[in-house]
């Protein structure tokens, strides 16, 4: 028998995850985005990543419809974007991109300026997985910049500090 959901959530809260904003397009190329920590690299050849999006989220429908998405890695000073795209800032659900100078990646997916990095993906595969859908994307373009990441641990936003370089 599977573990109960509360125990599972408590165990998963002990896993530190980088904070990302998954972006895609709605009809008429309107940018859409959602905060996500369920992200991983999958393969080097071809370059593949995966994201997990909850069923019922509008972002899921948009990724399925347009077939592209970008994963933006947030810096430690971009907490507000993490909260914004998680729906935690009141009165900003209509246009979360209103005050952001969005850039466009190779696939046409929107990318956030000044993030730690991003990968621009074309939908490669999707897998139904319980209350989420796992999207696997082939990375067609990527960008990196300097900085330290924003992370999520024990149900709170955290930053990380390197232990050593070497």
CATH of the domain at 132: 2.30.110.10
Note whether 72 and 61 are within 8 A (CB). Answer: no
pLDDT at 22: 98
pLDDT at 89: 86
- Whether 166 is in a domain gets the answer no
Q: How far apart are CA 140 and CA 48, in angstroms?
A: 9
pLDDT at 56: 93
Q: How far apart are CA 104 and CA 50, in angstroms?
A: 20
CB atoms within 10 A of CB 149: 20
- Whether 164 is in a domain gets the answer no
- Identify the domain containing residue 63 by its residue range: 5-159
- Whether 98 is in a domain gets the answer yes
Q: β-pairing, 48-54 with 68-73? A: unpaired
Q: How far apart are CA 132 and CA 57, in angstroms?
A: 9
pLDDT at 28: 78
Give me the residues paired with residue 69 across strands.
121
pLDDT along the chain (166 residues), means of 10: 95 96 92 96 98 95 97 98 92 80 96 98 98 98 98 96 80
Q: How many residues does the chain have?
A: 166
- Whether 111 is in a domain gets the answer yes
The structure tokens listed for 143 are: 């960008």
Cα separation of the two ends of the chain: 44
Count: domains in the chain: 1
- Whether 107 is in a domain gets the answer yes
pLDDT at 90: 78
Alpha helices in 38-122 (DSSP H): 58-66, 79-85
């Amino acid at each position: 028998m599977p573990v109960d959901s509360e125990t599972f959530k408590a165990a998963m809260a002990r896993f530190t995850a980088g904070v990302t904003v998954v972006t895609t397009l709605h009809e008429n190329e309107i940018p859409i985005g959602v905060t996500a920590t369920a992200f991983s690299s999958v393969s080097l050849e071809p370059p593949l990543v995966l994201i997990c999006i909850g069923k019922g989220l509008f972002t899921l429908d948009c990724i399925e419809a347009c077939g592209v998405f970008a994963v933006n890695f947030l810096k430690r000073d971009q907490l507000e974007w993490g909260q914004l795209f998680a729906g935690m800032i009141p009165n900003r659900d209509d246009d979360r991109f209103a005050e952001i100078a969005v850039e466009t990646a190779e696939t046409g997916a929107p990318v956030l300026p000044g993030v730690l990095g991003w990968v621009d993906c074309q939908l490669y595969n999707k897998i139904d997985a319980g209350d989420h859908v796992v999207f696997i994307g082939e990375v067609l373009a990527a960008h990196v910049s300097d900085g330290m990441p924003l992370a999520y641990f024990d149900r709170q936003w955290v930053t990380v500090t390197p232990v050593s370089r070497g």
